[in-house]
Amino acid sequence: MQDPAEDRNSAPPPRKRLRASDVLAGAAVGGLLALAATIAMVVVFRRQATPPLTTEALDAARTRWQQNGPADYALDVTVMGRQPGRYHVEVRDGKPVEVLRNGVRSDRRTWHYWTVPGLFEVIEHDVDCAEDPTRGFGAKPGSKAVLRAEFDERRGYPLKFERLILGEPQLDMTWEVEAYRDKLLAR
């Protein structure tokens, strides 16, 4: 039987030395995995990103709506930001007949802003305010606003709108049309 003190004092077994080719192979495999993960993330995030808003895209969408938008429709809009909520909007003959916020009837004076023409006005207002975010949104001096929007290809109505005030997330706001129905098609 061996003395336990001898075990503690004995030298550890020699470590196997890594060859340069093993290190290079490991680095290459790790680099390829990192590159593949980066490419996958870029593809996923780009696909989900809302495009930057341009005046040309806004004007073209509004024109499509004026030419192709029905007088009777319904929208469900989800808002995220300081005043989150879900809006249900009913429009007949181009005029809002009901607007519910989280299932409760909204103040009639705000109804127009939830129609498609009203949503275009809201976007246009934010475009004007984005030129000077301090004056327009109450942001810190030197702040920058980023506006993004996506529009329906056929009808032109806004699908999603994002307002980001860089460095001031409390001023960020997003709304998205979760459901759109032509009332003429539903009859």
> Please, which contacts does 15-23 make with residues 24 or more away whose CB atoms are closer than 8 Å?
none
Inside any domain, residue 18 = no
Q: What is the mean pLDDT of residues 38-53?
A: 64
Q: Is 136 a domain residue? A: yes
Q: Is residue 19 one of the residues assigned to a domain?
A: no
Give the tens place of pLDDT for each residue, 77-116: 999 999 999 999 999 999 999 999 999 999 999 999 999 9
pTM: 0.72
Residue 138 lies in a domain: yes
- The answer to the question of residue 155 being in a domain is yes
* Residue 162 belongs to domain spanning: 55-186
Q: How many domains does the chain have?
A: 1
Asked if residues 87 and 101 have their Cβ atoms less than 8 Å apart, the reply is yes
Are the CB atoms for 49 and 162 separated by under 8 Å? no
* Tokens (6 digits) for 79: 């808002």
In a domain, 71, yes or no: yes
| pLDDT level of residue 71 (50, 70, 90 thresholds) | very high
